[in-house]
Amino acid sequence: MSGAQPPSFPPLLRGEAVAGAIDPFDRARALAALGCDGGTVVHNVQADRLRAAFVFAPEVALEDAMVMLPVCGVGFQNALGALAPPEVAVHLTWEGGIKVNGAGCGRLRASASTRAVGEVPDWLVVGIEIPILLTGGATGAGNEAGPEDGAEPGLTPEATALWEEGCAEVEPTQLLEAWARHVLVWINRWSEEGNAPLHAEWMGLVEGVGETVARAGLSGTFVGVDERFGMLIRDRETTHLVPLSTLLEEVP
């Protein structure tokens, strides 16, 4: 199921395969710190999960560059939507969680060379992890752990995998290729048209708007996002902004 043929990427992208326990997110960060080119896609396709990481070389300040996180989320929704049966529903969470038919089915994560919002990062890495089968390697929405090893379908409704949601015919390598292509399409569209088209697409996919949330020491109603996709939390007195950059993981 992992595919014998290596993935094929568009000319502007360069793939780098890793295997075994190597996390492509960590590998991508290490390569980025050494100065690898933007457009490098590090990937690890296994029988039970697909993991990949996209290296970006931003030309804008960090808070604007963080748009690559929703770009990668929308790119994945578009990719799986094109390959999966039409009844399969894919949604996103603001924190980077991916949901398939309402259950957690992977996550997006991000890291950058700096956490200074006004500084142009040397690099930005966005990683994705998608469970193919329900095993201990599966990951739920956000940073939640997946089900236990050997879990039976239906016993962990909060977490799922592609096979359990009718996507057994979706080849992981094909999904990786489609994700990379759709990410590239959205990068080009964002470069030409700005945030508005991406904002409209993403808002149609994100879950939790109108619900009570707690983020960055704030609690209130998630009323939407600003033009940079920062979370807007409304309490009884005012509306607070939680920048997307607060989701960045520390560099080891």
- Please, which residues bridge with residue 41 across strands? 15, 54
pTM above 0.75, yes or no: yes
Domain spans of the chain?
14-203, 212-247
- Please, which residues bridge with residue 239 across strands? 234
Tens digit of each residue's pLDDT, the chain (252 residues) = 444 578 999 999 999 999 999 999 999 999 999 999 999 999 999 989 999 999 999 999 999 999 999 999 999 999 999 999 999 999 999 999 999 999 999 999 999 999 999 999 999 999 999 999 987 544 444 433 333 334 444 444 589 999 999 999 999 999 999 999 999 999 999 999 999 999 999 999 999 999 999 998 999 999 999 999 999 999 999 999 999 999 999 987
For the chain, give the longest Cα–Cα distance. 57
CATH number, domain 212-247: 2.30.30.100
- Please, which residues bridge with residue 124 across strands? 56, 112
Rounded Cα gap, residues 83 and 77, in angstroms:
10
Whether domain 14-203 has CATH 3.90.79.10: no
pLDDT score, position 157: 54
